[in-house]
Amino acid sequence: MNKKLLGIIVLSLVFYYNPLVIKVSNAGWFSSPLEKCMDRVIKGTFEGDDALAAAAAHVCKGANKGTDKCMDKIIKGTFDGDESVAAGVAELCV
């Protein structure tokens, strides 16, 4: 009984966090800092328009592990959570 329950839990977690199952899969746990930064800039500043990925890549060039936390702090503290300034914030944090 316990092995079946454990198997169900593990299987459900695999399907829940599997990016192949999720249709709108953005940068996740195992993504590079550049991917995370680009996804955030595209979603916030460029209103989700993936055609502007080159511009987001230019803004996020040089992103590292601390870029996402830096962006969180600046957006939360200075811009009252307004994600539409993500590109400008990314330039500050890269």
* Residue 8 within any structural domain of the chain: no
Residue 55 belongs to a domain: yes
Q: Is residue 89 part of a domain?
A: yes
Q: What range does the domain containing 57 cover? A: 30-94
Question: Is position 14 within any domain?
Answer: no
CA-CA-CA-CA torsion for 17, 83, 33, 73, nearest 10 degrees?
A: -110
Residue type, 93: C
Residue 81 resides in a domain: yes
For the chain, the domain total comes to: 1
Burial class (CB in 10 A: 0-12, 13-18, 19+), 67: buried
pTM: 0.64
Kindly calculate the radius of gyration of the chain based on its CA atoms and give it in whole angstroms.
Answer: 17
Kindly give the interhelix angle for 86-93 and 33-44, rounded to the nearest 10 degrees: 150
Please indicate, yes or no, if residue 21 is contained in any of the structural domains: no
pLDDT digits (tens, 9 = 90+) for 10-68: 777 666 655 554 444 455 566 788 888 988 898 888 888 888 888 999 999 999 989 98
pLDDT digits (tens, 9 = 90+) for 30-42: 678 888 898 889 8
